[in-house]
Amino acid sequence: MLGIETSCDETGIGVVRGRTLLSDAVASSVDEHARFGGVVPEVASRAHLEAMAPTIERACGQAGIRLGDLDAIAVTAGPGLVGSLLVGTATAKALALGLGIPLYGVNHLAGHVVVDELEHGPLPDGCIALLVSGGHTSLVLVRGQGTDLHPLGATLDDAAGEAFDKVARLLDLPFPGGPWIDRAAREGAADAIDFPRGLMIGNDAARYPYDFSFSGVKSAVLRWIRKQQSEGAAISVPDVAASFQEAVVDVLTRKAIAACRDHGIDHLVLGGGVAANSRLRALAEERCAEQGIELRIPRPGLCTDNGAMIAALGAKLVSNGMPPSGLGFPTTSTLALSTVVSDEPAPSGVSSSQ
Protein backbone atom coordinates (compact mmCIF):
# COMPACT_ATOMS: atom_id res chain seq x y z
CA MET A 1 0.00 0.00 0.00
CA LEU A 2 1.32 3.41 -1.02
CA GLY A 3 0.18 6.33 1.15
CA ILE A 4 0.23 9.97 0.00
CA GLU A 5 -0.15 12.81 2.52
CA THR A 6 -0.26 16.48 1.42
CA SER A 7 -2.66 18.15 3.85
CA CYS A 8 -0.32 20.99 4.83
CA ASP A 9 3.41 21.63 4.35
CA GLU A 10 4.84 18.10 4.32
CA THR A 11 4.87 15.89 1.23
CA GLY A 12 4.69 12.48 2.87
CA ILE A 13 4.95 9.19 0.99
CA GLY A 14 4.85 5.89 2.86
CA VAL A 15 4.80 2.23 1.89
CA VAL A 16 3.47 -0.51 4.16
CA ARG A 17 2.86 -4.22 3.81
CA GLY A 18 0.11 -5.09 6.27
CA ARG A 19 1.35 -3.55 9.54
CA THR A 20 4.98 -3.55 8.45
CA LEU A 21 6.44 -0.17 7.55
CA LEU A 22 8.68 -0.46 4.49
CA SER A 23 9.46 3.22 3.93
CA ASP A 24 8.49 6.68 5.14
CA ALA A 25 9.80 9.54 2.99
CA VAL A 26 8.98 13.16 3.83
CA ALA A 27 9.83 16.40 2.02
CA SER A 28 9.03 19.45 4.15
CA SER A 29 8.57 23.02 2.91
CA VAL A 30 8.67 24.47 6.43
CA ASP A 31 11.79 26.53 5.69
CA GLU A 32 9.96 28.27 2.85
CA HIS A 33 7.18 29.31 5.26
CA ALA A 34 9.39 30.33 8.17
CA ARG A 35 10.04 33.85 6.91
CA PHE A 36 6.26 34.45 6.85
CA GLY A 37 5.77 33.13 10.39
CA GLY A 38 3.23 30.54 9.24
CA VAL A 39 2.18 28.28 6.40
CA VAL A 40 1.32 30.07 3.14
CA PRO A 41 -1.16 27.86 1.20
CA GLU A 42 0.09 28.79 -2.29
CA VAL A 43 3.71 28.20 -1.31
CA ALA A 44 2.75 24.83 0.18
CA SER A 45 0.90 23.75 -2.98
CA ARG A 46 3.82 24.62 -5.25
CA ALA A 47 6.24 22.83 -2.94
CA HIS A 48 4.12 19.68 -3.14
CA LEU A 49 4.20 19.82 -6.94
CA GLU A 50 7.98 20.03 -6.94
CA ALA A 51 8.50 17.34 -4.28
CA MET A 52 5.90 14.77 -5.29
CA ALA A 53 7.70 12.70 -7.94
CA PRO A 54 11.12 12.67 -6.21
CA THR A 55 9.55 11.72 -2.87
CA ILE A 56 7.57 8.86 -4.41
CA GLU A 57 10.76 7.61 -6.06
CA ARG A 58 12.61 7.85 -2.76
CA ALA A 59 9.90 5.97 -0.85
CA CYS A 60 9.76 3.17 -3.42
CA GLY A 61 13.54 2.93 -3.44
CA GLN A 62 13.68 2.66 0.36
CA ALA A 63 10.99 -0.01 0.27
CA GLY A 64 12.74 -1.94 -2.49
CA ILE A 65 9.68 -1.93 -4.75
CA ARG A 66 8.52 -0.57 -8.07
CA LEU A 67 5.19 1.16 -8.66
CA GLY A 68 4.03 -1.96 -10.48
CA ASP A 69 4.35 -3.92 -7.22
CA LEU A 70 1.65 -1.87 -5.50
CA ASP A 71 -1.71 -3.44 -4.67
CA ALA A 72 -3.50 -0.20 -3.78
CA ILE A 73 -3.03 3.50 -3.03
CA ALA A 74 -4.39 5.63 -0.18
CA VAL A 75 -4.35 9.43 -0.18
CA THR A 76 -5.48 12.16 2.18
CA ALA A 77 -8.80 13.53 0.91
CA GLY A 78 -9.14 15.96 3.85
CA PRO A 79 -9.11 17.84 6.08
CA GLY A 80 -6.33 20.25 5.19
CA LEU A 81 -5.37 23.04 2.82
CA VAL A 82 -7.43 22.41 -0.28
CA GLY A 83 -4.71 23.41 -2.76
CA SER A 84 -2.22 21.08 -1.10
CA LEU A 85 -4.78 18.28 -0.92
CA LEU A 86 -5.50 18.61 -4.63
CA VAL A 87 -1.87 17.96 -5.52
CA GLY A 88 -1.93 14.70 -3.56
CA THR A 89 -5.33 13.49 -4.73
CA ALA A 90 -4.62 14.32 -8.38
CA THR A 91 -1.37 12.36 -8.16
CA ALA A 92 -3.05 9.41 -6.47
CA LYS A 93 -5.89 9.30 -8.98
CA ALA A 94 -3.48 9.40 -11.91
CA LEU A 95 -1.34 6.63 -10.44
CA ALA A 96 -4.32 4.44 -9.55
CA LEU A 97 -5.80 4.87 -13.02
CA GLY A 98 -2.49 4.22 -14.77
CA LEU A 99 -1.64 1.17 -12.65
CA GLY A 100 -5.20 -0.19 -12.61
CA ILE A 101 -5.29 -0.59 -8.82
CA PRO A 102 -7.81 0.44 -6.11
CA LEU A 103 -7.71 3.91 -4.58
CA TYR A 104 -8.80 5.02 -1.12
CA GLY A 105 -9.42 8.68 -0.28
CA VAL A 106 -9.04 8.80 3.49
CA ASN A 107 -9.28 11.08 6.49
CA HIS A 108 -6.01 12.65 7.62
CA LEU A 109 -7.03 12.52 11.30
CA ALA A 110 -7.96 8.84 11.18
CA GLY A 111 -4.45 8.22 9.85
CA HIS A 112 -3.02 9.77 13.02
CA VAL A 113 -4.91 7.12 15.01
CA VAL A 114 -4.16 4.03 12.93
CA VAL A 115 -0.45 4.78 12.45
CA ASP A 116 0.09 3.58 16.03
CA GLU A 117 -0.49 0.02 14.79
CA LEU A 118 2.82 0.17 12.92
CA GLU A 119 4.59 0.29 16.29
CA HIS A 120 2.29 -1.26 18.87
CA GLY A 121 0.14 -3.75 16.96
CA PRO A 122 -3.66 -3.83 16.55
CA LEU A 123 -5.70 -1.18 18.27
CA PRO A 124 -8.29 -2.36 20.79
CA ASP A 125 -11.90 -2.22 19.66
CA GLY A 126 -12.50 0.68 22.02
CA CYS A 127 -10.07 3.50 22.81
CA ILE A 128 -9.94 7.27 23.20
CA ALA A 129 -7.73 9.22 20.80
CA LEU A 130 -6.33 12.64 21.60
CA LEU A 131 -5.36 14.25 18.28
CA VAL A 132 -3.29 17.40 18.68
CA SER A 133 -1.73 19.39 15.85
CA GLY A 134 -1.39 22.86 14.40
CA GLY A 135 -4.86 22.73 12.89
CA HIS A 136 -6.72 20.25 15.06
CA THR A 137 -7.24 19.43 18.72
CA SER A 138 -9.85 16.70 19.16
CA LEU A 139 -10.96 13.96 21.50
CA VAL A 140 -12.37 10.95 19.68
CA LEU A 141 -14.02 7.70 20.72
CA VAL A 142 -12.52 5.06 18.44
CA ARG A 143 -14.25 1.80 17.56
CA GLY A 144 -13.63 -0.78 14.86
CA GLN A 145 -9.89 -0.77 15.57
CA GLY A 146 -9.52 2.71 14.14
CA THR A 147 -12.10 2.71 11.35
CA ASP A 148 -15.15 3.97 13.30
CA LEU A 149 -14.59 7.41 14.82
CA HIS A 150 -17.04 9.30 17.06
CA PRO A 151 -16.00 12.90 17.89
CA LEU A 152 -16.38 13.82 21.55
CA GLY A 153 -14.91 17.30 21.54
CA ALA A 154 -12.65 19.71 19.69
CA THR A 155 -11.08 23.12 19.99
CA LEU A 156 -13.48 26.05 19.99
CA ASP A 157 -10.83 28.49 18.78
CA ASP A 158 -7.04 28.05 18.45
CA ALA A 159 -5.70 24.53 18.11
CA ALA A 160 -2.90 23.64 20.53
CA GLY A 161 -0.21 23.70 17.85
CA GLU A 162 -1.48 27.05 16.58
CA ALA A 163 -1.20 28.46 20.11
CA PHE A 164 2.38 27.16 20.35
CA ASP A 165 3.25 28.96 17.12
CA LYS A 166 1.70 32.24 18.28
CA VAL A 167 3.36 32.19 21.69
CA ALA A 168 6.70 31.35 20.08
CA ARG A 169 6.31 34.46 17.94
CA LEU A 170 5.69 36.53 21.10
CA LEU A 171 8.95 35.16 22.51
CA ASP A 172 10.88 35.79 19.26
CA LEU A 173 11.35 32.06 18.74
CA PRO A 174 11.45 30.62 15.18
CA PHE A 175 8.60 28.97 13.27
CA PRO A 176 7.30 26.33 13.75
CA GLY A 177 6.99 27.21 17.40
CA GLY A 178 6.25 23.84 18.99
CA PRO A 179 9.77 22.35 18.99
CA TRP A 180 11.31 25.68 20.09
CA ILE A 181 8.87 26.09 22.98
CA ASP A 182 9.61 22.49 24.00
CA ARG A 183 13.38 23.11 23.98
CA ALA A 184 13.17 26.42 25.84
CA ALA A 185 10.83 24.96 28.46
CA ARG A 186 13.44 22.42 29.55
CA GLU A 187 15.46 25.27 31.06
CA GLY A 188 12.47 26.95 32.71
CA ALA A 189 10.11 26.44 35.66
CA ALA A 190 6.63 25.20 34.80
CA ASP A 191 5.19 26.86 37.92
CA ALA A 192 6.89 30.22 37.43
CA ILE A 193 3.73 31.86 36.00
CA ASP A 194 0.16 30.75 36.65
CA PHE A 195 -1.36 30.89 33.18
CA PRO A 196 -5.10 30.02 32.86
CA ARG A 197 -6.52 26.62 31.89
CA GLY A 198 -9.42 27.10 29.46
CA LEU A 199 -12.78 25.35 29.98
CA MET A 200 -11.59 23.57 33.12
CA ILE A 201 -13.74 25.05 35.89
CA GLY A 202 -17.33 26.02 36.67
CA ASN A 203 -20.05 26.19 34.05
CA ASP A 204 -17.54 26.09 31.19
CA ALA A 205 -16.21 22.72 32.32
CA ALA A 206 -19.73 21.33 32.68
CA ARG A 207 -20.87 22.65 29.31
CA TYR A 208 -17.70 21.72 27.40
CA PRO A 209 -16.28 18.65 29.17
CA TYR A 210 -14.28 17.43 26.15
CA ASP A 211 -13.76 20.67 24.23
CA PHE A 212 -10.68 22.89 24.26
CA SER A 213 -9.90 26.60 24.13
CA PHE A 214 -6.35 27.93 23.85
CA SER A 215 -6.95 31.52 22.74
CA GLY A 216 -7.24 32.58 26.39
CA VAL A 217 -3.87 31.25 27.48
CA LYS A 218 -2.25 32.75 24.38
CA SER A 219 -3.75 36.13 25.25
CA ALA A 220 -2.65 35.73 28.88
CA VAL A 221 0.94 35.26 27.72
CA LEU A 222 0.70 38.41 25.61
CA ARG A 223 -0.70 40.44 28.53
CA TRP A 224 1.99 39.12 30.89
CA ILE A 225 4.79 40.02 28.49
CA ARG A 226 3.40 43.52 27.91
CA LYS A 227 3.08 44.08 31.68
CA GLN A 228 6.69 43.02 32.22
CA GLN A 229 7.84 45.32 29.43
CA SER A 230 5.86 48.28 30.76
CA GLU A 231 7.49 47.80 34.17
CA GLY A 232 10.95 47.37 32.71
CA ALA A 233 11.15 43.88 34.22
CA ALA A 234 13.14 41.02 32.75
CA ILE A 235 11.38 38.33 30.74
CA SER A 236 12.62 34.78 31.16
CA VAL A 237 11.85 33.03 27.90
CA PRO A 238 12.40 29.55 29.44
CA ASP A 239 10.00 30.31 32.32
CA VAL A 240 7.30 31.69 30.01
CA ALA A 241 7.71 28.74 27.64
CA ALA A 242 7.58 26.17 30.46
CA SER A 243 4.59 27.78 32.18
CA PHE A 244 2.64 28.16 28.93
CA GLN A 245 3.46 24.62 27.85
CA GLU A 246 2.37 23.26 31.23
CA ALA A 247 -0.98 25.05 30.99
CA VAL A 248 -1.65 23.52 27.57
CA VAL A 249 -0.59 19.94 28.32
CA ASP A 250 -2.36 20.00 31.69
CA VAL A 251 -5.67 20.68 29.95
CA LEU A 252 -5.01 18.16 27.17
CA THR A 253 -4.18 15.30 29.53
CA ARG A 254 -6.90 16.04 32.10
CA LYS A 255 -9.64 16.06 29.47
CA ALA A 256 -8.27 12.93 27.78
CA ILE A 257 -8.18 11.05 31.09
CA ALA A 258 -11.71 12.25 31.89
CA ALA A 259 -12.96 10.97 28.51
CA CYS A 260 -11.42 7.55 29.18
CA ARG A 261 -12.92 7.40 32.65
CA ASP A 262 -16.39 8.62 31.60
CA HIS A 263 -16.62 6.10 28.75
CA GLY A 264 -15.12 3.13 30.58
CA ILE A 265 -12.10 3.04 28.24
CA ASP A 266 -8.68 1.83 29.37
CA HIS A 267 -6.62 2.74 26.28
CA LEU A 268 -5.54 6.23 25.21
CA VAL A 269 -3.87 6.97 21.85
CA LEU A 270 -2.00 10.23 21.24
CA GLY A 271 -1.53 11.46 17.70
CA GLY A 272 -0.73 14.57 15.70
CA GLY A 273 2.32 16.77 15.54
CA VAL A 274 2.00 18.12 19.09
CA ALA A 275 2.09 14.52 20.38
CA ALA A 276 5.85 14.78 19.73
CA ASN A 277 6.07 17.33 22.58
CA SER A 278 8.21 15.85 25.35
CA ARG A 279 6.22 17.32 28.25
CA LEU A 280 2.88 16.15 26.81
CA ARG A 281 4.25 12.64 26.43
CA ALA A 282 5.69 12.61 29.96
CA LEU A 283 2.57 13.99 31.66
CA ALA A 284 0.28 11.65 29.70
CA GLU A 285 2.41 8.69 30.78
CA GLU A 286 2.30 9.82 34.41
CA ARG A 287 -1.45 10.39 34.53
CA CYS A 288 -2.33 7.26 32.58
CA ALA A 289 -0.21 5.17 34.96
CA GLU A 290 -2.05 6.70 37.93
CA GLN A 291 -5.44 5.80 36.42
CA GLY A 292 -4.54 2.34 35.09
CA ILE A 293 -4.92 3.44 31.46
CA GLU A 294 -2.66 2.02 28.76
CA LEU A 295 -1.06 4.83 26.78
CA ARG A 296 -0.08 4.37 23.14
CA ILE A 297 2.05 7.04 21.46
CA PRO A 298 3.87 6.51 18.15
CA ARG A 299 7.47 7.63 17.97
CA PRO A 300 7.79 11.37 17.21
CA GLY A 301 8.49 10.83 13.51
CA LEU A 302 5.14 9.10 13.10
CA CYS A 303 3.26 11.78 15.05
CA THR A 304 3.99 14.57 12.60
CA ASP A 305 2.31 14.45 9.17
CA ASN A 306 3.64 11.55 7.09
CA GLY A 307 2.69 9.15 4.34
CA ALA A 308 3.13 6.08 6.56
CA MET A 309 -0.01 6.91 8.51
CA ILE A 310 -2.06 7.17 5.31
CA ALA A 311 -0.64 3.90 4.00
CA ALA A 312 -1.37 2.23 7.36
CA LEU A 313 -4.98 3.42 7.26
CA GLY A 314 -5.37 2.26 3.67
CA ALA A 315 -4.00 -1.16 4.53
CA LYS A 316 -6.42 -1.36 7.47
CA LEU A 317 -9.36 -0.56 5.19
CA VAL A 318 -8.28 -3.23 2.70
CA SER A 319 -7.89 -5.85 5.45
CA ASN A 320 -11.36 -4.95 6.75
CA GLY A 321 -12.89 -5.50 3.31
CA MET A 322 -13.79 -1.83 2.79
CA PRO A 323 -14.54 -1.05 -0.87
CA PRO A 324 -12.26 1.53 -2.54
CA SER A 325 -13.32 5.12 -3.11
CA GLY A 326 -13.11 5.10 -6.88
CA LEU A 327 -11.87 8.07 -8.85
CA GLY A 328 -14.71 10.50 -8.17
CA PHE A 329 -14.28 11.21 -4.48
CA PRO A 330 -14.08 14.89 -3.50
CA THR A 331 -11.14 16.73 -2.05
CA THR A 332 -12.37 18.85 0.83
CA SER A 333 -10.66 20.97 3.46
CA THR A 334 -13.43 20.26 5.97
CA LEU A 335 -13.81 16.48 5.78
CA ALA A 336 -15.82 15.38 8.81
CA LEU A 337 -13.90 13.35 11.37
CA SER A 338 -16.54 10.62 11.24
CA THR A 339 -15.82 10.10 7.51
CA VAL A 340 -12.85 7.74 7.52
CA VAL A 341 -12.96 6.86 3.83
CA SER A 342 -14.58 9.09 1.21
CA ASP A 343 -16.78 7.67 -1.52
CA GLU A 344 -19.25 10.47 -2.13
CA PRO A 345 -19.60 12.54 -5.32
CA ALA A 346 -18.25 16.06 -5.02
CA PRO A 347 -21.08 18.38 -3.93
CA SER A 348 -21.51 21.83 -5.42
CA GLY A 349 -18.75 24.16 -4.29
CA VAL A 350 -16.38 21.41 -3.13
CA SER A 351 -13.14 20.98 -5.04
CA SER A 352 -12.38 17.72 -6.80
CA SER A 353 -9.28 16.72 -8.66
CA GLN A 354 -11.38 14.92 -11.26
CATH numbers and ranges of domains, the chain: 2-113+306-342 (3.30.420.40), 125-298 (3.30.420.40)
Q: How confident is the model at residue 20 (pLDDT cuts 50, 70, 90)?
A: very high
- pTM equals 0.94
Q: Is 76's pLDDT higher than 60?
A: yes
- pLDDT for 351: 42
Go through 108-130 and write b for each residue having 16 or more CB atoms within 10 A of its CB, e for each that does not.
Answer: bbbbbbbbbbbeeeebeebbbbb
Amino acid at the residue 201: I
Contact 27, 55 (CB under 8 A): yes
Task: Tally the C-alpha atoms within 13 A of residue 140's C-alpha that lie toward its C-beta.
Answer: 31
Tell me what the pLDDT averaged over the chain comes to: 95
Q: How confident is the model at residue 237 (pLDDT cuts 50, 70, 90)?
A: very high
- pLDDT for 35: 87
Mean pLDDT of 262-270: 98
